[in-house]
A and B are shown apart, each in its own frame.
Chain A
Amino acid sequence: MTNWDADEFGWFGGAGAWGGRFMPEALVAALDELTVAYTEAMADPEFVKTFEDALVDYANVPSPLYEAKHLSEQYGVKILLKREDLNHTGAHKIRNVLGQALLTKRMGKSRVIAETGAGQHGVASATAAAYFGLDCTVYMGRVDTERQALNVARMELLGAKVIPVESGSATLKDAINEALRDWVASVDHTAYLFGTAAGPHPFPSMVRDFTRGIGDEARAQCLAKYGRLPDAVAACVGGGSNAIGLFTAFLDDADTAIYGYEAGGDGVETGKHAATIAAGGAGVLHGARTYVLQDGDGQTIESHSISAGLDYPGVGPQHAWLSAAGRASYEPVTDTEAMDAFQLLARTEGIIPAIESSHALAGALRLAPTLAAEKGKDAILLVNLSGRGDKDMGTALDYFELASSKKGEKK
């Protein structure tokens, strides 16, 4: 059986392949300390129980697996939605930060820093910091603070300090750069709550382990209710934490196909996208060898997506390995396809998904006819609804020009 996990140096798919730790020496001691602390914590039943209790009592986990009856009827397969949008703070991100913040307490550090794109990880980090009594600073690209002003307000209400990042493209990748710069100078008392399953070892493995409950629960829920495993599972992929959190439970289930949907932006052919695996190349970004969007000189190219949470020119190294090994398929979904799915889910099921998650749904709906033709109407297609769309209403208003049509109605 293929080993999908990283080795002790953080390499996925063999030494020198994907992942690793391309980092300044100044941070190596902290990364080593974190690796040891995390390994010991995961082997400590008391830590695991405290983490699970926090998930259940505080974060509203396990999230339900909901059969979307109207959509299923319309598309001719059973479409199941893993309702991570119902978690506390509105996305899967709370799982990761509760794990990392608990680990921070265990390591005796008093401050956490985080980067955020859509603001979901920032809100989750600010929440976990409030819950565990830690100081919290969140770095967020200035462009994103404008796109996601409501989440900035949330973070500040929760007591976090939000620092807008002006450098580079002023989006998620630059927020990561700035958080790393903070961390180099503050590492003795500060933990970096990394928001996705990317970055240097041990983050890709650690973030996966804290989010893998998504797939473990969904797999058990599916078996319990339908007596069998899904034929396909789907998730959106930016850095890839919700996706790896879903996929991990199914990696050894040979009959379950795995699909990751990347942000296709205006379309891969336009160059304005964030489809790192589908249209990028192998390179090194933020401490790992993985697929990145870069020019011929290895300079990072700015990514584009209507969804701030997917607007990242890199991707977690385990996804690079799953793609290279052929275990998972990664395809782009355009802004238009995602917004169509966003509206469709709202109208057919009464659920407003995050625009990130709408990419997963759009990809899954594209897949549904093939699945229906091959396996019939009992085929099961499981989609991770990683977050809710309240934060995206500003973007949606602009996109659908609802605001102007409303004014029209009043006249």
Chain B
Amino acid sequence: MSTASAFARAKAEGRAALVGYLPAGFPDLEGSIEALTVMVEHGCDVIEIGLPYTDPVMDGPIIQAAAQQALDNGTRSKQVLQAVEAVAKAGAPTLVMTYWGPIERYGVAQFAADLASAGGAGLITPDITPDFGQEWIAAADEHDLDKVFLVAPSSTDARIAMTTAASRGFVYATGVMGVTGGKQATADVVRPLIERTKATTDLPVGVGVGVSTGAQAAQFAQYADGVIVGSAFVRALLEAPDRATGLRNLAALTEELAAGVRGRA
């Protein structure tokens, strides 16, 4: 299933889509595949697999800690692609969320080709904007991949229009001015951003960063097409005393959020 059809299905069901994030290789490669599969089975419509990076400037301490653990156990670009291949088989469109340094090093066209053959749906790119992403845009178009760029509360209308015009799959609206896992997104910031973004595009618009609970999911599902959660999933695994408990907590959180995007909080 493509990202577009996952969002379309959610829309047909009168709800928002649930997008879930974990870094590949956390707690280890097998563990991340298992966890992401649990998230698909319990209600995530779209999956984001994080590519662990040494200098993640948009991430707060929770995702930093998980990414560091993944790096320490040897997770690199190749293992991320293995995780994509395994998780995509669970049936949800699977995107890679990555900072730009590792993709440049891998070779942009080569990464696009290898991502496509692993069954990946595309990339979410938190530290490149379309005006500096021409090489990626060309490679994504060649390999029929989604290009998920971010818009922020600080974006001008002109930049939002430029960004949505270059996007495919969905548009990622940053719910807070800040890093992941920090302050909570609130309607006074999220709603105007979603409205400004939707005024420029027919693409679905998801809200992420600062979203962690079913109640928030229910609130944002009233006007966003997707609800994106990352740090809360990581925390469910980080704080569990053992892996089995972690997976149970992860399943419960997924179900809470899946109920949220259906307006049941």
User: Which residues of A does B touch, CB under 8 Å?
Assistant: 9, 16, 20-30, 167-168, 173-174, 177, 180-181, 184-185, 187-188, 281-287, 289, 292, 294, 296-300
Whose C-beta in chain A lies nearest to the C-beta of B183? A185
Q: Do residues A25 and B129 form an inter-chain contact, with CB atoms below 8 A? A: yes
Q: Which 9 A-B pairs have the closest CB atoms?
A: A298-B105, A298-B102, A26-B152, A185-B178, A297-B76, A29-B154, A300-B54, A180-B57, A298-B101
In the assembled complex, which residues on chain B have CB atoms less than 8 Å from the CB atom of A21? 129, 132
B203, CB-defined interface residue at 8 Å: no
Q: Out of B68, B129, B179, which one reaches A28, CB within 8 Å?
A: B129
The 10 sampled A-B contact pairs (Cβ below 8 Å) are A21-B129, A24-B57, A25-B155, A26-B152, A26-B153, A26-B155, A28-B155, A29-B155, A284-B104, A286-B57
Query: A25-B150, A294-B105 are known contacts. Are A299 and B56 too (CB-CB below 8 A)?
Result: no
Q: Do residues A25 and B57 form an inter-chain contact, with CB atoms below 8 A? A: no
Q: Out of B64, B101, B155, B179, which one reaches A184, CB within 8 Å?
A: B179
Q: Do residues B154 and A30 form an inter-chain contact, with CB atoms below 8 A? A: yes
B38, CB-defined interface residue at 8 Å: no
In the assembled complex, which residues on chain B have CB atoms less than 8 Å from the CB atom of A286? 55, 57
CA distance A296 to B126 in the complex (A): 22
Specify the main secondary structure of chain A where it touches its partner. mixed
In the assembled complex, which residues on chain B have CB atoms less than 8 Å from the CB atom of A188? 177
Q: Do residues B58 and A285 form an inter-chain contact, with CB atoms below 8 A? A: no
Task: Please give the distance in Å from A164's CB to the nearest CB on chain B.
Answer: 14
CA distance A161 to B201 in the complex (A): 44
In the assembled complex, which residues on chain A have CB atoms less than 8 Å from the CB atom of B154? 25-30, 187
Q: Mark B30-65, 1 if CB is under 8 A from A, else 0.
A: 000000000000000000000001111110110010
Q: Do residues A26 and B174 form an inter-chain contact, with CB atoms below 8 A? A: yes
In the assembled complex, which residues on chain A have CB atoms less than 8 Å from the CB atom of B155? 25-26, 28-29
Contacts A21-B129, A26-B174, A299-B53 aside, 5 further interface pairs with beta carbons under 8 A come to: A24-B57, A25-B150, A26-B154, A28-B159, A300-B54
Task: Please give the distance in Å from A314's CB to the nearest CB on chain B.
Answer: 10
Query: A283-B105, A284-B100, A294-B101 are known contacts. Are A187 and B151 too (CB-CB below 8 A)?
Result: no
CA distance A41 to B178 in the complex (A): 29
B188, CB-defined interface residue at 8 Å: no
In the assembled complex, which residues on chain B have CB atoms less than 8 Å from the CB atom of A168? 54-55, 68
Query: A29-B155, A299-B71 are known contacts. Are A9 and B179 too (CB-CB below 8 A)?
Result: no
CA distance A21 to B132 in the complex (A): 7
Task: Please give the distance in Å from B248's CB to the nearest CB on chain A.
Answer: 30
How many A-B contacts if CB must be within 8 Å? 120
CA distance A165 to B255 in the complex (A): 36
Whose C-beta in chain A lies nearest to the C-beta of B78? A297
Query: A23-B127, A297-B76 are known contacts. Are A284 and B101 too (CB-CB below 8 A)?
Result: yes
CA distance A382 to B78 in the complex (A): 48
Task: Please give the distance in Å from B84's CB to the nearest CB on chain A.
Answer: 15
Whose C-beta in chain A lies nearest to the C-beta of B104? A284
B163, CB-defined interface residue at 8 Å: yes
Q: Out of B57, B126, B159, which one reaches A181, CB within 8 Å?
A: B57
B103, CB-defined interface residue at 8 Å: yes
Q: Mark B148-179, 1 if CB is under 8 A from A, else 0.
A: 01111111100100010000000000101111
Q: Mark B99-124, 1 if CB is under 8 A from A, else 0.
A: 01111111000000000000000000
Query: A23-B127, A181-B57 are known contacts. Are A298 and B174 too (CB-CB below 8 A)?
Result: no
Most A CB atoms within 10 A — which of B77, B105, B135? B105
CA distance A16 to B129 in the complex (A): 14
Whose C-beta in chain A lies nearest to the C-beta of B126? A24
In the assembled complex, which residues on chain A have CB atoms less than 8 Å from the CB atom of B54? 168, 299-300
In the assembled complex, which residues on chain B have CB atoms less than 8 Å from the CB atom of A296? 105
CA distance A285 to B179 in the complex (A): 18
Q: Do residues A184 and B177 form an inter-chain contact, with CB atoms below 8 A? A: yes
Q: Do residues B64 and A23 form an inter-chain contact, with CB atoms below 8 A? A: no
- Residues of chain B in range 207-248 having any CB-CB distance to chain A below 8 Å: none
In the assembled complex, which residues on chain B have CB atoms less than 8 Å from the CB atom of A177? 55-57
Query: A25-B149, A25-B159, A26-B174 are known contacts. Are A285 and B55 too (CB-CB below 8 A)?
Result: yes
Task: Please give the distance in Å from B73's CB to the nearest CB on chain A.
Answer: 13
B131, CB-defined interface residue at 8 Å: yes
Whose C-beta in chain A lies nearest to the C-beta of B134? A16
Most B CB atoms within 10 A — which of A24, A180, A282? A24
Task: Please give the distance in Å from A8's CB to the nearest CB on chain B.
Answer: 11
Q: Out of B127, B132, B159, B178, which one reaches A29, CB within 8 Å?
A: B159
Q: Do residues B163 and A300 form an inter-chain contact, with CB atoms below 8 A? A: no
Q: Out of B71, B104, B134, B177, which one reaches A187, CB within 8 Å?
A: B177
Q: Do residues A24 and B127 form an inter-chain contact, with CB atoms below 8 A? A: yes
Whose C-beta in chain A lies nearest to the C-beta of B65? A167
Q: Do residues B128 and A22 form an inter-chain contact, with CB atoms below 8 A? A: yes
Q: Do residues A298 and B103 form an inter-chain contact, with CB atoms below 8 A? A: yes
Whose C-beta in chain B lies nearest to the C-beta of A30? B154
CA distance A187 to B177 in the complex (A): 8
Query: A177-B56, A299-B54, A299-B76 are known contacts. Are A24 and B150 too (CB-CB below 8 A)?
Result: yes
Q: Do residues B177 and A185 form an inter-chain contact, with CB atoms below 8 A? A: yes
Task: Please give the distance in Å from B219's CB to the nearest CB on chain A.
Answer: 22
Q: Do residues A29 and B156 form an inter-chain contact, with CB atoms below 8 A? A: yes
Q: Do residues B103 and A184 form an inter-chain contact, with CB atoms below 8 A? A: no
In the assembled complex, which residues on chain B have CB atoms less than 8 Å from the CB atom of A299? 53-54, 71, 76, 101-102
Whose C-beta in chain A lies nearest to the C-beta of B76? A297
CA distance A20 to B155 in the complex (A): 19
Q: Out of B58, B76, B101, B177, which one reaches A300, CB within 8 Å?
A: B101
CA distance A16 to B138 in the complex (A): 14
In the assembled complex, which residues on chain B have CB atoms less than 8 Å from the CB atom of A20? 132
CA distance A27 to B127 in the complex (A): 10
Q: Do residues B174 and A25 form an inter-chain contact, with CB atoms below 8 A? A: yes
Q: Do residues B106 and A298 form an inter-chain contact, with CB atoms below 8 A? A: yes
Most B CB atoms within 10 A — which of A174, A177, A294, A296? A177
CA distance A20 to B127 in the complex (A): 12
Q: Do residues A297 and B77 form an inter-chain contact, with CB atoms below 8 A? A: yes
In the assembled complex, which residues on chain B have CB atoms less than 8 Å from the CB atom of A9? 131-132
CA distance A282 to B105 in the complex (A): 8
Q: Do residues B152 and A25 form an inter-chain contact, with CB atoms below 8 A? A: yes
